[in-house]
């Protein structure tokens, strides 16, 4: 068993389930957005903005935002542990992987906070 | 027939080279790749490769034949080479080369060892043997036949990237062989050992293993079964 890991769910099964559930949420949200364009062919800012005035839509957006962040972190963590390894980068691998993962965490945190501000701010 | 063969001796060579050898094939016969390799060896006795049973049972002569992993002894030339083409032989990819077509399989065996490839049963053994119903025995079909030739694991990108952490298709097929065995009572311990992000979950289901298995086995399906068992035990 590989125990020295920094993944999200602390087990392979957790990550696998989180990734699949978050993918379902993301797909459902994408369909919802697509449907709003189909229902409103003359979409303008007023209509677009009114969709997100609805609390249910705001909540769905927040859940989707969390799902996106979890999905992105699991994906980026997996990519980093596949490609940035000592086989490819020798002794520098750990440092490079840590920098890459830190940059991903920072970016995801910014997107999350920014997203919350957009959906729930003024 | 032109044969292009990977030559490398890490002790003396700076880098590997592809050596081209022309061999005369007998008319009207569809030789196996191993037979052609024997003809090459007659011309150049320095060529090094593993072989033993020459009938797809020992798994010694796994190699990369014209881009596909396979056993040289049971791969016919008609299947390996297009008409007018040449035979290109390389060692199994992703493992350190000891010499020419011989690779160091230590890490492959280490992963195999991790899954405890033996029956675990703490109850007192019966006088003769632990019996199994024909239905339960059938569950092992498609699993026990693996000969550990490493064609599948060395064709798997996840194994190339993390050979020290990802068990690989061959090891996981055997892991499921013991999980599926009704005489084995260590399912919980076995599953606990596999529930990390690397051992099983690095499999992305691209099925390279299924495409090259010389015995026609399906490690991807076995990995799916392990995943289902992990879900049943973990949720």
For residue A61, the domain's CATH number is 1.20.1300.10
Q: pLDDT confidence of B120, banded at 50, 70, 90?
A: very high
B120 touches chain A (CB under 8 A): no
DSSP single-letter state for residue B25: P
pLDDT at A37: 92
Interchain pair A11, B234: CB under 8 A: yes
Q: Are B22 and B1 in contact (CB under 8 A)?
A: yes
Average the pLDDT over A47-55 and give the result: 91
Beta strands in chain B (DSSP E): 2-7, 17-22, 62-65, 68-71, 87-90, 97-99, 102-103
Same domain, yes or no: B96 and B114? no
Interchain pair B234, A7: CB under 8 A: no
The boundaries of the domain holding residue A81 are 12-120
Tell how strand B62-65 and strand B87-90 pair up.
antiparallel
- Could you say which of A1, A13, A78 has the minimum Cβ distance to residue B193? A1
Residue A99 has pLDDT above 80, yes or no: yes
Q: Which residue of B has its CA nearest to A12?
A: B197
**Axis crossing angle, helix A55-83 with helix A12-39, rounded to the nearest 10:** 130
Q: Looking at beta carbons, which residues of chain A come within 8 Å of B195?
A: 1, 11-13
Buried-exposed string B142-169: b where 16+ CB fall within 10 A, e elsewhere:
bbeebbbbbbbbbbbebbbbbbebbbbb
DSSP single-letter state for residue A53: T
Does some domain include residue A1?
no
The residue ranking higher by pLDDT, A5 or B59, is B59
DSSP single-letter state for residue B76: B
Does some domain include residue A4?
no
What is the number of domains present in chain A? Answer: 1
pTM here is: 0.90
pLDDT at A121: 84
Tokens for B201? 């979950």
Does some domain include residue A85?
yes
**Interface probe, candidates B111, B196, B224, chain A, greatest A C-beta count within 10 A:** B196
pLDDT at A122: 67
Q: Which residues pair with B40 in a beta bridge?
A: none
- Our measurement of the distance from residue B139's CA atom to the centroid of its chain's CA atoms, rounded to an integer in Å, reads 21
Per-residue pLDDT of B180-235, as tens digits, reads 999 999 999 999 999 999 999 999 999 999 999 999 999 999 999 999 999 998 76
Residue B88 has pLDDT above 80, yes or no: yes
Interchain pair B196, A5: CB under 8 A: yes
pLDDT at A88: 87
Q: What is the CATH number of the domain that holds B65?
A: 3.10.20.30
Question: Which of B59, B51, B33 lies closest to B152 in space, CA to CA?
Answer: B59
What is the number of domains present in chain B? Answer: 2
Q: pLDDT confidence of A11, banded at 50, 70, 90?
A: confident
Q: Looking at beta carbons, which residues of chain B come within 8 Å of A87?
A: 161
Tokens for B72? 């040289």
The boundaries of the domain holding residue B29 are 2-103
- Could you say which of A2, A13, A17 has the minimum Cβ distance to residue B198? A2
């Amino acid at each position: 068993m590989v125990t020295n890991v920094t993944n999200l769910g602390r087990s392979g099964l957790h990550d696998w389930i989180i990734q699949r559930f978050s993918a379902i949420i993301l797909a459902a949200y994408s369909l919802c957005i697509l449907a709003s364009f189909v229902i409103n062919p003359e979409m303008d800012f007023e209509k677009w903005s009114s969709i997100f005035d609805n609390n249910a839509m705001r909540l769905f957006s927040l859940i989707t935002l969390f799902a996106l962040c979890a999905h992105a972190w699991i994906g980026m963590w997996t990519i980093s542990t596949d490609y940035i390894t000592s086989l490819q980068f020798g002794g520098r691998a750990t440092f490079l992987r840590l920098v890459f993962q830190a940059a991903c965490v920072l970016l995801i945190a910014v997107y999350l906070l920014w997203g919350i501000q957009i959906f729930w701010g003024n | 027939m032109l044969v292009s063969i990977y030559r490398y001796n890490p002790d003396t060579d700076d880098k590997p080279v592809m050596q081209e050898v022309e061999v005369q094939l007998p008319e009207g016969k569809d030789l196996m790749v191993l037979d052609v390799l024997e003809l090459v060896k007659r011309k150049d006795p320095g060529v090094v490769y593993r072989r033993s049973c020459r009938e797809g049972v020992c798994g010694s002569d796994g190699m990369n034949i014209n881009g596909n992993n396979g056993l040289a002894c049971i791969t016919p030339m008609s299947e390996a080479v297009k008409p007018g083409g040449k035979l290109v032989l390389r060692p199994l990819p992703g493992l350190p080369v000891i010499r020419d077509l011989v690779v160091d399989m230590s890490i492959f065996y280490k992963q195999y060892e991790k899954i405890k490839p033996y029956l675990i049963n703490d109850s007192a053994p019966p006088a003769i043997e632990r019996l199994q119903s024909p239905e339960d025995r059938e569950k092992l079909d498609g699993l026990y036949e693996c000969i550990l030739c490493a064609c599948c694991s060395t064709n798997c990108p996840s194994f190339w990237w993390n050979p020290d952490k990802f068990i690989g298709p061959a090891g996981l097929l055997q892991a499921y062989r013991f999980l599926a065995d009704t005489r084995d009572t260590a399912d919980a311990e076995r599953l606990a050992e596999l529930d990390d992000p690397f051992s099983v979950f690095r499999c992305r289901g691209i099925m390279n293993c299924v495409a090259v298995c010389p015995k026609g086995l399906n490690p991807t399906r076995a990995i799916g079964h392990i995943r289902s068992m992990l879900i049943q035990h973990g949720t």
